């Protein structure tokens, strides 16, 4: 389970690097500047995000293993697990940031990751589940 989870986390981390380090880099920097802040330069900030994303990958494969008895092994179950992790991670965070702090975080920074991760999380779970094997 750990190997599959780490693979899923790796895929998620690569996706997040492309999204936040490339596609949303300018919008993110502008959001920080609008708040009178600068993008954190502390390496522990980035390290904690990477670690949390690996934890999300492990959670996706753990959930896949947990729901296999109910839904059966295979891609459909892996996609369900990925969508559940997406919902409880991305959707919850976006609603919390956008609705919980109205006017602070612009929608162009909050909502694109939700759409991106709707693809990223299920694909990562699918890859992690392909590596997963039941203990004998």
Three-class SS string for 58-119?
HHHHHHHHHHHHHHCCCHHHHHHHHHHHHHHHHHHHHHHHHHHCCCCCCHHHHHHHHHHHHH
Q: Distance between CA 50 and CA 38 in Å, rounded?
A: 20
Given a contact cutoff of 8 angstroms between Cβ atoms, the answer to whether 48 and 40 are in contact is: no
Band (60; pLDDT cuts 50, 70, 90)? very high
- What's the average model confidence in pLDDT over 30-34? 88
Helix, strand, coil tally for the chain in percent (to 5): 80, 0, 20
Structural domain harbouring 92: 2-131
Q: Give me the pLDDT at residue 136, please.
A: 67
Domain membership of residue 12 (yes or no) is: yes
Domain membership of residue 120 (yes or no) is: yes
Angle at 97 between CA 30 and CA 25, to 5 degrees: 30
Domain membership of residue 136 (yes or no) is: no
- What's the average model confidence in pLDDT over 56-62? 98
Domain membership of residue 19 (yes or no) is: yes
- pTM for this predicted structure: 0.90
Q: Give me the pLDDT at residue 2, please.
A: 93
Domain membership of residue 55 (yes or no) is: yes
Tell which wins on pLDDT, 58 or 42.
Answer: 58
- What's the average model confidence in pLDDT over 16-41? 90
Number of structural domains found in the chain:
1
- What's the average model confidence in pLDDT over 54-71? 98
Domain membership of residue 40 (yes or no) is: yes
Instruction: Report whether pLDDT(18) > 70.
Output: yes
């Amino acid at each position: 389970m750990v190997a599959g989870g780490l693979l899923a986390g790796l895929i998620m981390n690569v996706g997040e690097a492309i999204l936040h380090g490339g596609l949303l880099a300018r919008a993110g920097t502008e959001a920080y500047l609008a708040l009178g802040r600068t993008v954190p330069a502390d390496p522990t900030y980035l390290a904690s995000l990477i670690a949390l994303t690996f934890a999300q990958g492990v959670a996706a494969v753990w959930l896949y293993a947990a729901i296999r008895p109910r839904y059966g092994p295979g891609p459909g179950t892996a996609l369900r697990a990925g969508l559940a992790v997406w919902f409880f991670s991305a959707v919850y965070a976006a609603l919390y940031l956008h609705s919980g702090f109205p006017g602070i975080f612009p929608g162009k920074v909050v909502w694109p990751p939700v759409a991106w991760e709707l693809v990223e999380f299920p694909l990562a779970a699918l890859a992690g589940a392909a590596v997963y094997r039941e203990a004998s």
